[in-house]
Chains A and B, each alone.
Chain A
Amino acid sequence: MTMETKKLKKVDIIFENIPGLSYSILEKTIKRNPDDIILDLIDSGLKGRGGAGFPTGLKWKFTKNEDNPVKYVICNADEGEPGTFKDREIIERVPDKILTGIAICGYVIGAKEGYIYLRGEYNFLLKNLVKRVEEFNAFLKKIHLDFKVMIRSGSGAYVCGEESALFESMEGYRGEPRNKPPYPTVAGYNWKPTVINNVETLVFATMICHMGPEKFKKLGTTDSRGSKVFSVSGDTPIPGIYELELGMPLHRFVEEFGDGDTKAVQIGGASGFCVTRKKFNDTIIGFEGIPTGGSMMIFNSSRSMYNILHDYLEFFCEESCGQCTPCRIGCQQLLKGIEAVKRGERPPSYLEELKKLTATMKIASKCGLGQSVGNPFNSIVDNFREEIIY
């Protein structure tokens, strides 16, 4: 089977900023039948842009189908994955497009309240965002849409980007993830049916309502429709935020953004996968290959992959909520383990024991944090074993 591959193509859907456009999209869209809007979203193939990639149209549909007078829309702006910084830029540059997406969702599912959960590290965005939200709420009143957007702040906890931990935080508790099911579409914020979408996903929802699913579908591949905003950092002469068509092979990405000496790319942040040079040609960036919330960290040959893995593990040790044992203890043991191998206190074969531990963490951890620590661990240990040992 030959995979469908794409060239690297820059796109401008997210940041295109035409004054007043969002408001007119909203006015036009809320005259439509909610089921038709859902059909358009499903047809577009839009999948969540936060990393997990759940089909957005289905999420809205499931929540709409719940028979409950109280429902919520939440915009997850708790962007904490190392290497990801696109949501900050979207909030800064096109807040109205996000607000419009929230209101359209509210209209579709039958919610009266929407929230933006903004990470505490982005408090400096609040001043402008509060103003835009006030203007937007006034506009909603004017067009007689019974919906209101509010802002809630985070306080520096990576795990609160996990949707159920985010609800706990909004409800005034420790940000500890819940067991699933029930899923948020059934029992989310305040245990009511909730759509929780990433910032970028909501903007795409707005734009699909504007341009129609056909135009969106033309971009990307069968499994990965549309474009995506990438956060590019590390050893690159041009770090920054780029909207690119999905489904491109990694080597094209490296040609564009690498510094000529790229030895590995970490796709999807600290919880993502490390891909080495020899796999650049047959790695697709998209849901059929390696999906990503947008984080692309480039490492050149001057970097020690041991140091990089060490940094990731320290990050997870600190950010694990501590609720479930496999994640709390697992992260610490992985960190101590590679340190012991490096110092020669443990034989290289100990790495196999640690890999078994990541398999346990994947099965037994309650949320995505503990489940995904094995992604960077195994992909770095397998590809750069010598660097970890010596």
Chain B
Amino acid sequence: MSTTEVLISELVEKHGRTRNSLMPILQGIVQQEKFLSEDAMVSVARELNISAADVFGTASFYTFLDTVPRGKNVIRVCKTISCHMKNKDEIIRALENALKIKVGETTHDKEYTLLTANCLGWCHKGPVMLINDEVYPELTPESALKIVNEHMHSK
């Protein structure tokens, strides 16, 4: 069994085989692998006895259930109104320059993917970004770079 299949069987064991456990299972895969590969979706479909199209249909609805390859770490910069008013564009530009990628792309070493997100719920402390599940509010271009730098060297 591939590592993905092992992971899926563990998740199915934990959450059950009903349709209601589909979201927690898909979230568990994304947590580990950062995206849902075709193989992963096909195995989930087999485990839950639903069609692969059903799994893909559900997954592709949700922004955080990526169905295209992502880096080991996903950065999401909030782009909605309050963060826009507080210059989220500068944060994005600084990160694009530092990581040498555009929004939507992944670094060559597959370590970081840079994305934008709709309102992250920190409008009083924008601009804000998530690195994986961790939140970083009140950014400046300098602090954003420092945070990403420290993140790179914390492993």
Q: Which one, A5-13, A35-43, A234-242, is touching chain B?
A: A234-242
Interface centre among B122, B123, B126 (most CB of A within 10 A): B123
Q: Which residues of A contact B117 (CB under 8 A)?
A: 121, 156
Q: Which residues of B contact A83 (CB under 8 A)?
A: 81-82, 119, 123
Q: Is the CB of B64 within 8 A of A120?
A: yes
Q: How far is the CA of A235 from the CA of B22 in the complex (A)?
A: 42
Q: Is the CB of A156 within 8 A of B80?
A: no
Q: Which residues of B contact A155 (CB under 8 A)?
A: 23, 26-27, 30, 62-65
Q: Is the CB of A233 within 8 A of B57?
A: no
Question: With an 8 A cutoff between CB atoms, is B120 at the interface?
Answer: yes
Q: Which one, B93-101, B103-111, B128-136, B144-152, is touching chain A?
A: B128-136
Closest to A160 in B: B62
Min CB gap A272→B, angstroms: 12
Q: Which one, A136-144, A171-179, A362-370, is touching chain B?
A: A171-179
Q: Is the CB of B57 within 8 A of A174?
A: yes
Question: With an 8 A cutoff between CB atoms, is A53 at the interface?
Answer: no
Q: Is the CB of B82 within 8 A of A157?
A: no
Q: Which residues of B contact A87 (CB under 8 A)?
A: 121
Q: Is the CB of B130 within 8 A of A171?
A: no
Question: With an 8 A cutoff between CB atoms, is B46 at the interface?
Answer: no
Q: Which residues of A contact B19 (CB under 8 A)?
A: 171-173
By the criterion of a CB under 8 Å from any partner CB, how many residues of chain B are at the interface?
36
Min CB gap B87→A, angstroms: 13
Question: With an 8 A cutoff between CB atoms, is A231 at the interface?
Answer: yes
Q: Is the CB of B20 within 8 A of A170?
A: yes
Question: With an 8 A cutoff between CB atoms, is A3 at the interface?
Answer: no
Closest to B31 in A: A123
Question: With an 8 A cutoff between CB atoms, is A82 at the interface?
Answer: yes
Question: With an 8 A cutoff between CB atoms, is A152 at the interface?
Answer: yes
Q: How far is the CA of A172 from the CA of B45 in the complex (A)?
A: 12
Q: Which residues of A contact B135 (CB under 8 A)?
A: 124
Q: Specify which of A121, A157, A170, A308 is in contact with B130 (CB 8 Å cutoff).
A: A121
Q: Is the CB of A157 within 8 A of B61?
A: yes
Question: 6 tightest A-B contacts by CB?
Answer: A172-B22, A156-B63, A239-B124, A233-B123, A155-B62, A156-B64
Given A124-B133, A232-B124, A311-B81; 6 other pairs, CB 8 A cutoff: A154-B62, A155-B26, A170-B20, A171-B19, A231-B123, A297-B123
